[in-house]
Structure 1
Amino acid sequence: MNGNQSATDLTTVLAGDHRELDRLCTELELGQGSPENRKDLADHLIAELVRHSVAEEPYLDGDGDLAEADRLMRQLEGAGPQETRFERLLGGLIRAVRRHVREEGPAAVREIGRTCSADRQAELGREVLETREAAPTLPHPDLADRVPQADQLWPGPGFVDRARAALRAPASG
């Protein structure tokens, strides 16, 4: 990183995501809290990972750790915290996230730094942050008529797809 990068530069945003994902994994690995609290924390990890994935996926090959994490997130969103598979799936998700944070993610950040000008990195970073800011208020088109807007990004079955759709929708304003 050079000294001219801003906090909104895409490489800075993604590196910050990696630190937050790593922190959430550490918190989950400590194994503290009730099953319901762990489920809430797992849902938070999933939400952060989806936000991160949407921003970083264009710079990855599609078959790596984020793809594995996506598969596990989809299985985990249907698992209750009391089910035996919950901890098994969560452990797999944490391992995939850790691999991404240590290997795949930094390689993507390096590739962005190598292939994008500083101006383009700043532009992409601003776009990612604007999209993230707008996403919670964007209704998923399949849910708009059936689910109150406040519940459309609530964790649960379909959460990964709803969050991705909201993050990929164009930011308004």
Structure 2
Amino acid sequence: MNRSQPATDLTTVLDGDHRELDRLCTELELGQGSPENRKDLADHLISALVRHAVAEEPYLGDGGDLAEADGLMRQLEGAGPQEPRFERLLGGLIRAVRRHVRDEGPDAVGRIRLGDSAARREELGREVLDARKAAARLPHPGLADRMPQADQLRPGPGFVDRVRAAFVPSAGGTGSPG
């Protein structure tokens, strides 16, 4: 029938995420741009990684590279691009992301392929993509009365939690394998 999986198949979505995360890591490893531009790119990596983690975590065991990356992302939130610890933390994040893309991610994708029917994978993939699309429009419920909607997904303290919260409520059905 299909020679390739539809773009909405969860495994296709996750594989695309892995390629994008790898590309962002490569761009950061090149070390080009001003510290502020590097901070912006790091924030873009964090946002992409959180979106990816929300979709993939249910298929991973506890801990691992995504858990390590989560801790590093939270530390990076409070680090200015001029601080020496910024590059150290960013390097650790890049290493954790690379390990995930190389090891954990493909294992999770393989488990999904084996454990879920093509129809279920397509349904889950659509839910993930719909949640990502809706998250750009939904204000964080805990911030709506204190922060303008346009500012809710801006980097800064609490950025990882705000990005995660933007995806988790909408993606409620995407997290259960099987």
Give the AA of the match of 1:34.
S
Partner of 1:97: 97
* Number of aligned positions between the proteins: 170
Per-residue deviation at 1:4?
4.7
Partner of 1:85: 85
Per-residue deviation at 1:51?
0.4
Per-residue deviation at 1:86?
0.1
Per-residue deviation at 1:170?
2.4
Q: Secondary structure at the match of 2:26?
A: helix
Distance in 2, Cα, partners of 1:96 & 1:25: 10
Partner of 2:24: 24
Partner of 2:165: 165
Partner of 1:12: 12
Q: Secondary structure at the match of 1:137?
A: coil
Per-residue deviation at 1:140?
1.1
Per-residue deviation at 1:58?
0.4
Distance in 2, Cα, partners of 1:122 & 1:170: 17
Percent identity, please. Answer: 79
Extract structure 1 runs of 4+ deviating beyond 2 A. Answer: none
**Alpha-carbon displacement from aligned partner over 1:83-123 (angstroms, at most 9, x marks no partner):** 01000000000000000000000000000001000000000
Partner of 1:47: 47
Q: Name structure 1 gaps, 5 residues minimum.
A: none
Partner of 2:36: 36
**Alpha-carbon displacement from aligned partner over 1:129-162 (angstroms, at most 9, x marks no partner):** 0000010111112111100011011111101101
Partner of 1:127: 127
| RMSD of aligned residue pairs (Cα, Å) | 1.0
Partner of 2:175: none
Partner of 1:107: 107
Distance in 1, Cα, partners of 2:41 & 2:164: 19
Instruction: Output the TM-score relative to the length of structure 1.
Output: 0.96
Instruction: Output the TM-score relative to the length of structure 2.
Output: 0.93
Once the two structures are superposed, the pairs formed by residues 136-151 of structure 1 within 5 Å of their partners are 136-151=136-151
